[in-house]
Each structure stands twice: as structure tokens, then as C-alpha cells.
Amino acid sequence: MNEQVNSTMSKVVFLAQLFSVLFIWVFVCVITVWIVNLIQLSLELNDAPGASVGISIVAIPVFITLASVLTYVFVGLQREKSPTSTTEEK
């Protein structure tokens, strides 16, 4: 019975981790598209795109870095749980 509870909890944790990784990448893509749209709109309206470009220079790499770190941690956790893992538990 305890083994079944552990298996169910492992699946729930895996799904929560997978959801967070997928959500952050969707979020990064939406933010990137939105900022690019703001720059295009400012050019169409003959407005100065300075603020949009300034924000995008900072925001897009920061979001991509955060998403990459989260993905790296997720993949590392999955490798650690893998039965073919080369790390030994002490």
C-alpha cells in the first residue's frame, strides 16, 4: 500500500514539475511575441520605439535565462531519478 502511495505521489510531483516547465516556456514565448508586437506597432505609428526596445533588451534575455534554469533543474532531477543514472546514492 505504501509503495502505491509513493508511486502516485511521484507521478503528481512529476506532472507538477512538467507543468511548471511548460508554463514558463509558454510564458516566455508570449512575452517575446508581445514585446515584438509593441516594437512593430510603435514603428507603424511613427512613434519612438526606444522604450519597447529598451525593455526587450533586458526582459527577453532575463525570461529566457529563467526558463532555461528551470528546464535545467527539471532535467537534472529527472536524470537523478532515472534507474540508469550513473550517480550513486550514499
> What's the rounded Cα separation, in Å, for the pair 25 and 69?
11
Cell of 90: 550514499
Query: Are residues 18 and 74 in contact, defined by beta-carbon separation less than 8 angstroms?
Result: yes
Q: pLDDT tens digits for 37-85?
A: 888 888 898 887 787 788 888 989 999 999 999 999 989 888 887 766 5
Q: How many CB atoms lie within 10 A of CB 73?
A: 13
Q: Which residue did the predictor score with more confidence, 56 or 87? A: 56
pLDDT of residue 61: 93
pLDDT of residue 88: 52
Task: Answer whether 0.95 is exceeded by the pTM.
Answer: no
Burial class (CB in 10 A: 0-12, 13-18, 19+), 30: exposed
What's the residue count for the chain? 90
